[in-house]
Structure 1
């Protein structure tokens, strides 16, 4: 039996959700994620923190989906009845969005 997986999922994550995720992190964890010292992060104003977060996102040095806890791969349930990677995956897209609460810009499908 083939197992289909959605992978390289490009989640549509709003920048404000990223800021909120960083606000919930400890200073140490946020600084580590941004590759700066905890002291530097602690001394920054909110506007400066947002600027470095935007910069790291823009240059792909941090992964927005990972920051908010979204997966890069998801096994697609059998009830979608996929037979190949080229099948229509519109319902899968809707399911992923409903399941995780985020829209999706793009993803690929593979089977094993």
Structure 2
């Protein structure tokens, strides 16, 4: 891991998956890039944008962006890590639905997750 893998001052890109928001998609859970703050959907979500961001950007470390979770994941090594506190907010809003966002989740969402 390089020194630029985690930037504790990088704010999250938003409250939901950046690509899903742009495309009208939906997500199961959210992950936040520890290097740049990009918020993407987890690998159980249909589009798996967080791991796509890690692969495309070279930023290997993500933190859960779910309330009450403070774990980090290294996409390169496939291991959980301990990490420092990141800039606030450290999770999606508590009133945001899971899966989310409300109004875009299909009725058969359970069949569509990985």
Q: TM-score, normalised by structure 1?
A: 0.29
* Greater relative contact order structure (CA < 8 Å, 6+ sep): 1
> Which is higher, the Rg of structure 1 or of structure 2?
1
Q: TM-score, normalised by structure 2?
A: 0.28
